[in-house]
Chains A and B, each alone.
Chain A
Amino acid sequence: MQLHPRYFGRNLRDNLVSKLMKDVEGTCSGRHGFVVAVTGIENIGKGLIRDGTGFVTFPVKYQCVVFRPFKGEILEAVVTMVNKMGFFAEAGPVQIFVSNHLIPDDMEFQSGDMPNYTTSDGSVKIQKDSEVRLKIIGTRVDATEIFCIGTIKDDFLGVINDPTTV
């Protein structure tokens, strides 16, 4: 963690911790996934002054909660957008796309004010803000985001909660 000299003083440690939280929470790495929250600081090492500038580098060891979706994992997500190609859902910081190839064949796309996928008898509906249970079939981590592809074509997957009936 690099710190500007203006933060030196009695609040050095607090400044360091808050800068750490600001910088690290919400970021994403391939190895660990999304850093959701820092839970504790294990150790702050001695600071090393960088040549030429007044910045000081501190090695900080911390613990945090990370989120990383896996292939094959079953997740619950909230639908954010529905269109003819499928629907997009969010599970925390992760964007999941379920293409219409992976939506059961008895569900059809209905366009209109609130585009949705509905079964032929109208009993099950997937629209914006519905909660669905889906299975991840592929993940990829980018610099700042995790992209996932999901499916609801298997048993026990699909809508959990219909927002219109709640």
Chain B
Amino acid sequence: MSVVTDSPVHSSGSDDFIDYLNEALDASSPNSSSDEEAENQDEFEDLSRNKRRKLESTEETEGSTSEGIVEQKLVVAESSVVKVDGCTHPGTFGKLCISCGEILDGESGVTFGYIHKGLRLHEEEISRLRNTEMNTFLFSKKLFLVLDLDHTLLNTTILGQLSSEELHLLNETDSLEDVAKGSLFKLEHMHMMTKLRPFVRTFLKEASAMFEMYIYTMGDRPYALEMAKLLDPQGEYFNAKVISRDDGTQKHQKGLDVVLGRDSAVLILDDTEHAWMKHKNNLILMERYHFFASSCRQFGFNCKSLAETKSDENETDGALAKILEVLKQVHCTFFEKLQGDLVDRDVRQVLSSVRGEILSGCVIIFSRINHLALPTLKRIAEQLGATCLTELDPTVTHVVATDAGTEKARWAVKEKKCLVHPRWIEAANYFWEKQPEENFFIKKTTTQS
């Protein structure tokens, strides 16, 4: 079978195409309309498909090299990838290589279904894109921010799980026509009701000036897209940047492999630490937003929810407002105060140094803490910049205990040191600033709140 010599894939010209068709189909009349061809080809189909396949594989090997190379050997096997100056296969769309059009069955690379269905990119291409992205964004002074949805930016409940004291909300929902003005939405088709966290719109607006934002949720894709429409009705923040659990590469874990930004420039805002095992250093832990009773119950709290008590988080003083300040501080430190090339700077270092200033100067001793909780508490305290000791010492500034009757607690009162509940440390962790110790004093009686 003769081989078409002068037809590398990327050259133009209908003459080449006609020659190629002639060779492939042994048909006498070249047809230009694809519709007619399809119908005429039934008889030739099987035979011609084989011939076409052979031709395709030979053409692939020629790739984008110059014309006039006479292919001596016929590569018949379709699956073998002969890399003779060939394509590097940077990615696939519907299993076709996006650069040469060859069918690739391999599973290498990462699926980017959230950008467009069927898109898959391989390692080299992902790194290349990450690097070019870095340069564009650093140039415009933007870092990356990955936002969780549930309990971080909003709280959703299923309509059937509304408690009796929350039923009044059904009449107070905001219109879905003018989403930008509302914060409580009923989604009939999904049987859900969603409440956006106070301050969220201002938060998104101000954060978008400093960060390129992504949504990453453990909900499924339809849910994620609905929420994105509520948070961002104009599509200016999260266009093609909504990652759902269908797009993650690992079950029950979130990862930065599907985010097109380098790890050293990404910050994560999430209420669940164990979803980000590989990226704990990028994580800013958020205090959970429990508006609905079903959410409180899910986490084991028996108190009344915000909806039941007809109250809400403070708008200007709530978690989102505080975290926005932290983000501004990290952003400013990254771009203004760090030395060296922009590409070498690491936002994780900035985050840990900002975190380490919160309780710096505090020397802490623990007393009668549940020994399952103790290692975590110690780790948090050390990350916040405190020094933890095990023996009483004159340099100790705080004694953290759950009971005011212990030896160390009594020593603290005697020496006029601060005696606080472990929640003082947790509050510092959530609010990113040292909390007044008066709010966390332990009462002498053993009943604790």
List chain A positions with a Cβ less than 8 A from chain B.
31-33, 65-73, 81, 83-86, 88, 95, 97, 99, 101-102, 111, 113, 135-140, 142, 145, 147-149, 151, 153-157
Contacts and interface: CB of A to CB of B under 8 A. Distances in A.
A149 B197 CA distance: 43
Interface residues of B, number: 39
A4 to B, nearest CB: 29
Nearest to B239: A115
B91 interface: yes
A32 B41 CA distance: 9
B11 A149 contact: no
Most A C-beta atoms less than 10 A away, residue of B9, B90, B94, B99: B94
Interface stretch (B113-121, B158-166, B268-276, B399-407): B113-121
Nearest to A32: B38
Contacts of A68: 34, 38
Contact of A138 (B39, B101, B236): B101
B133 A84 contact: yes
Q: Tell which of A86, A88, A101 has the most Cβ of chain B within 10 Å.
A: A101
Contacts of A95: 94, 118
B98 interface: yes
Contacts of B17: 72-73
Interchain residue pairs A-B with the least CB separation, the first 7: A138-B101, A147-B94, A137-B101, A99-B98, A154-B12, A97-B93, A138-B96
A142 B115 contact: no
B247 interface: no
A113 B11 contact: no
A65 B39 CA distance: 8
Interface in B94-116: 94-103, 115-116
Given A67-B38, A85-B119, A140-B103, A101 B98 contact: yes
A31 B45 CA distance: 8
B91 A99 contact: yes
A154 B11 contact: yes
Contacts of B94: 95, 97, 140, 142, 145, 147-148
Nearest to A31: B45
Contacts of A32: 38
A43 B434 CA distance: 83
B95 A154 contact: no
A81 B118 CA distance: 14
A51 B236 CA distance: 58
Given A71-B56, A72-B20, A84-B132, 8 more contacts: A67-B38, A71-B101, A85-B98, A85-B115, A101-B98, A137-B101, A140-B96, A149-B99
Given A70-B37, A85-B121, A137-B100, A147 B9 contact: no
A147 B116 CA distance: 12
A147 B118 contact: yes
B129 A85 contact: yes
Given A70-B34, A70-B37, A99 B240 contact: no
A84 B129 CA distance: 8
B102 A101 contact: no
A114 to B, nearest CB: 11
Nearest to B12: A154
A77 B258 CA distance: 29
B393 interface: no
29 contacts: A31-B45, A32-B38, A33-B38, A66-B35, A66-B38, A67-B35, A67-B38, A68-B34, A69-B34, A70-B37, A71-B52, A72-B20, A84-B129, A84-B133, A84-B260, A85-B98, A88-B116, A99-B93, A99-B99, A101-B98, A113-B236, A135-B12, A137-B9, A137-B10, A140-B96, A140-B103, A147-B94, A149-B99, A154-B12
